Amino acid sequence: MKSVPHDRIELRHAPSAEDTARLRVARARDVLREVLVEKTYGKIAVVSSFGSESAALLHLVAEADPSTPVIFIDTRMLFAETLAYKDALIRRFGLSDVRTVSPDGRVIRSTDPYGRLHLSDTDACCGFRKTDVLREALKDFDGWVTGRKRFQAATRSDVETFERASDGKVKINPLAEWSKEDIDAHFAAFDLPQHPLVEHGYLSIGCASCTSPVKAGEDARAGRWRGSDKTECGIHFENGKLVCPATAGAGE
């Protein structure tokens, strides 16, 4: 019996949704091993909000290396539930290098002494409470890992796994291709704890002053800065525009 050339073999069945989901998880693990263990891109930190979906990425980070630096920005306007959830996930995953960074008290007193800047200029508020703080925290790193995913909002629909910023730092988004169903399945498979506010309809969680529950049919980030055209805090922007995806290096 003559053998059939490999290029002529036809698959009888297309990959199932479960197969595809497993491949996405495997790819995310491979990416994190490459950047956190093999250190292909130099010194890398993970930036986490410890929000509604953060446990999925942090679980995979802890699998790769629980001593990975994790940067958490405390804007001084977060929900108490977020701060408690952070502590719970640190214990659960054994994360040993979570670095909480915040705006300097003197800057707060000079820029937003009454905590009301978000009512008149949300970009300026996010700028000094998040963007400036993160820039300083990342100055000694060659890049950072984020939890951004394409399904979260129209502004994230073209997020790639690897991006290069104008400052030369590489931005890694291991879960870029994951769907909401992938996230939910990962939480269920590993019995990951939910953020306490999720059960109250908060699907994307930032500062308490600018976050509201999401209504049926809205995208996950619809509750952020409700009533305005703002959809991002600014840490993924350069000169007012989203960072354009770019290949971080040969072979990616």
**Bridging pattern class, strands 143-145 and 170-172:** parallel
Q: Are 178 and 24 in contact (CB under 8 A)?
A: yes
Q: Are 34 and 241 in contact (CB under 8 A)?
A: no
Quick count: other Cβ atoms within 10 Å of Cβ 12?
5
| Burial (Cβ within 10 Å: 0-12, 13-18, ≥19) of residue 206 | buried
From 125, 207, 233, 244, the catalytic residue:
233
Nearest to 49 by CA among 104, 130, 105, 125: 130
How many residues in total does the chain contain? Answer: 252
Helix axes 180-189 and 54-64, enclosed angle (nearest 10): 60
Nearest to 252 by CA among 43, 59, 44, 35: 35
Instruction: Provide the token pair at 190.
Output: 């590993």
Residue 30, CB-side half-sphere exposure with 13 Å CA sphere: 8
Q: Are 223 and 202 in contact (CB under 8 A)?
A: yes
Active-site residue, 244 included: no
| Residue 177: C-alpha distances to residues 59, 160, 182 (Å) | 17, 8, 9
**Residues forming the active site:** 233
